Amino acid sequence: MSNGEPAGRRVIVTGASRGIGAGIAERLAAAGAALVITARTVDRHDHLAGSLNETLAKCRHHTERVEVVAADLSDPDDRARIVPEAVAALGGPIDVLINNAAAGIHRQLAEYAYRWRRVMFEVNVEAPLDLTQAVLPPMLERGEGWIVNISSGAAHLHPGPPFAPPVMPGNGMYAVTKAALNRLTNAMAVELWGTGVRLNTLDPAKPVASEGAVEHLQGRIPADQFAPVEVMAEAALALSTCGPDLTGQVCVDQPLLDRLARPVMTLDGSTPLTR
């Protein structure tokens, strides 16, 4: 099911200033991809570590073909710049789109304001769809393309009643948007079956030790229950190189890698990680 490594392929990774997005960008750069990385934080966030410039520096240890496009994905006009600027920066149409950026405003649904809902759906659902529509025509013309939407196990229904308390209280709207993203991906994959364009969502099996997750979940789950970002990065690389028979799926990072008999590598691609 693999089409090899993405050497020379043109890739966009959203939400690449830190965490999963930064890890995916570095792993793809190490595999030889040409990248545009995008997010809002170019130099410094007001309280979280990580920035596009830091990710850029890490990626440029592996390749010079990495460019930054700063954009606010909650703004339809601003995110409309991303694909045209990426095509211009990389010198051709996009082969791989990684929709990783996500908003997380955690409040009880009974008091969830419209302005918060709007931001959540703009970033977590509308932006992936807009970017997919923008990269799709050249993919269809070539008969090949890869779109990976980063989702979450939060999208799964809670068994019950009785219901166990959520690990992250107030994440109901986040879960709703990720469930919508899963369904959107599957529906588009069905419509595009046979074109050579692969569309999949990717969930982490465990919370990933990103800056944002550690901040929200510290004290709620033991530190040893966090997974390293390398697992998601390797799984995203696998979905960026898979054959056309792997499409329309909600994949989970480690089970996917186990199924493909693919080891988890360090972000520079040099050494397998031990589990």
Cβ atoms 189, 170 nearer than 8 A: no
Cα(251)–Cα(15) distance, rounded to whole angstroms? 20
The candidate with the shortest Cα–Cα distance to 237, out of 195, 270, 273, 267, is 267
Angle at 256 between CA 251 and CA 260, to 5 degrees: 140
| Residue 167, number of CB atoms within 10 A of its CB | 14
**Active-site residue flag, 174:** yes
Determine the Cα–Cα distance for residues 96 and 83; give it in Å rounded to an integer: 11
Tokens of 44: 């410094």
Whole-number Å distance between alpha carbons of 201 and 147: 8
Encoded tokens for 246: 């792997």
CA distances from 44 to 51, 52, 55, 56 (A): 6, 9, 12, 13
Q: What is the CB neighbour count within 10 angstroms for residue 133? A: 11
Query: Which among 85, 174, 239, 267 is annotated as catalytic?
Result: 174
Main-chain phi, psi angles of 36, to 5 degrees: -115, 125
Give the contacts of 26 (CB within 8 A, at least 6 positions apart): 55, 58, 59, 62, 233, 267, 268
Q: Which residues are catalytic?
A: 174
